[in-house]
Amino acid sequence: MDVKGHDPPMNPFTPSTLASLAHTHGTPLWVYDTATIERQIANLRQFDVIRFAQKANSNTHILKLMKRLGVMVDSVSLGEIERALAAGFTPGVHQGHAEIVFTADLLDRATLARVAELGVPVNCGSIDMLDQLGAVSPGHPVWLRINPGFGHGHSNKTNTGGEHSKHGIWHADLPLACERVRANGLTLMGIHMHIGSGVDYAHLQEVCGAMVKLVETVQAQGMDLAAISAGGGLSIPYQADAPTIDTAHYFSLWDAARTQIATLLGHPVTLEIEPGRYLVAESGVLVAEVRATKQMGRNPFVMVDAGFSDLMRPSMYGAFHGMEIIHADGTPATGTPQDTVVGGPLCESGDVFTQGEGGVVLQRALPPAQVGDLLVLHDTGAYGASMSSNYNTRPLIPEVLVEDGQPRLIRRRQTVAELLALEAV
């Protein structure tokens, strides 16, 4: 069996902090670090607008932190819009800026009514959306999300460009989209591209060049715009030897595109970036308790009380998360690492945290673990809690945010009674 991955990268917490939090709140448990989020935001300050793709972590306390740090937000559902409002973001457009933008490929009826009521700009991923918005909300502010015909992702499931992707308005349809914007009396704010999670740095110039061409097309239609968005997709080093992003270089390429566009249009243009993972992934860990160990033929298994109902990324994408074992007393496990398979509690074979794409079970070199030890899964602040489910009728688990050494419970554990209550009809 293959062993995948290398030494786990650092996590923001000491073993004793995590053991103490596990003792207080029980396991499984999410823990996030404020300082890491602040550091990641600081790395992107050159962009005019940092717009957090809240799908990565939509806890209202994380959103409040973003708001406090001057970060705006991208919502992709009615629920996410309500979360943004609950966190204190203001709807509508003020001095050319919108704190909340709604990005989607379709508008369900309830969301259409709500964005129209609130005046939340809609980043339209289909031409039908333009017609539907125009019918109920004349003058509504819109972005056009364009699929440039190519994309890139850390997995096929996170590639959002090209002709196999459902996302965005096809680039060749941009003139038609402009015509529908005009015919519906909508207000064009900007052009947006998000071609996938896991930016392909080798082809970045091509991506920026595509944006310039798109704006040329808009201009050829006799229209103007005030902003462009580079989308998200910036990765983080999930593995020790993964390349880290040179954000200054990344900015400089987009800034050059923006300068070209500003020259073209004859006025300044706002440059937005829309990261999810980059801002929050490294801030978070998932803490689980080892509840069983067993040998299955040649494979030592460590069974923990968190499953893919909590952290779906390994099962969904074969994603790698660094792991460490700590003892319940807060000391790190130090035994000689052995190749181990880590499984969860769900009644499903794919509930394994050590696996590659396509569901192939892998091993991970971990110090020997005993029942009662804690397993810490690193870099789970993005697409962890936000992708959790109630599969196997497992309640959602608590979230703790640590700021200046002070832990704060930002979501309590759900109860089975709450799940059953939904069915008391």
Residue list for the binding site for substrate: 277, 313, 317, 348, 383
Question: Which one, 11 or 340, has the nearer CB to ligand LLP?
Answer: 11
CA atoms within 13 Å, Cβ hemisphere of 227: 31
Question: Which one, 276 or 344, has the nearer CB to ligand LLP?
Answer: 276
Contact between residue 332 and residue 324 where contact means Cβ atoms under 8 Å apart: yes
Contact between residue 229 and residue 274 where contact means Cβ atoms under 8 Å apart: yes
The residues of the shown chain that bind ligand LLP, judged by CB under 6 A, are: 53, 56, 74, 103, 158, 160, 194, 197, 231-234, 274-278, 313, 317, 382-383, 387
Q: Taking Cα atoms as reference points, which of 99, 195, 88, 103 lies closest to residue 150? A: 195
Residue 139 makes CB contacts below 8 A (sequence gap 6+) with: 185, 186, 187
Question: Which one, 251 or 278, has the nearer CB to ligand LLP?
Answer: 278
CB of 219 to ligand LLP, least distance (A): 24
- What is the identity of the amino acid at 423? E
Question: Which one, 333 or 352, has the nearer CB to ligand LLP?
Answer: 352
- CA 176/CA 187 separation, integer angstroms: 15
Annotated binding site for pyridoxal 5'-phosphate: 233, 274-277, 383
Per-position DSSP letters for 212-258, written without gaps between them: HHHHHHHHHTT---SEEE--------SSTTSPPP-HHHHHHHHHHHH
For residue 78, what are the CA distances in angstroms to 75, 120, 142, 378? Answer: 8, 11, 17, 30
Active site residue 347: yes
Contact between residue 383 and residue 294 where contact means Cβ atoms under 8 Å apart: no
Residue 346, both tokens: 């769900």
Phi-psi sector, 359: left (phi>0), alpha (psi -120 to 50), beta: left
For residue 41, what are the CA distances in angstroms to 65, 104, 275, 396? Answer: 11, 24, 10, 28
Mapped onto helix, strand or coil, the DSSP state of residue 105 is coil
Question: Which one, 25 or 167, has the nearer CB to ligand LLP?
Answer: 167
Question: Which one, 25 or 55, has the nearer CB to ligand LLP?
Answer: 55
Q: Taking Cα atoms as reference points, which of 225, 114, 135, 208 lies closest to residue 174? A: 225
CB of 238 to ligand LLP, least distance (A): 10
Measured between its terminal Cα atoms, the distance across the chain in Å is: 49
CB of 230 to ligand LLP, least distance (A): 10
Contact between residue 129 and residue 122 where contact means Cβ atoms under 8 Å apart: yes
Annotated binding site: 233, 274-277, 313, 317, 348, 383
CB of 313 to ligand LLP, least distance (A): 5
**Omega before residue 28 within 30° of 0, cis:** yes
Select which of 124, 178, 208, 347 is catalytic: 347
Question: Which one, 44 or 366, has the nearer CB to ligand LLP?
Answer: 44
C-alpha gyration radius of the chain: 23
* Number of residues that make up the chain: 425
CB of 303 to ligand LLP, least distance (A): 24
What positions carry a catalytic annotation? 347
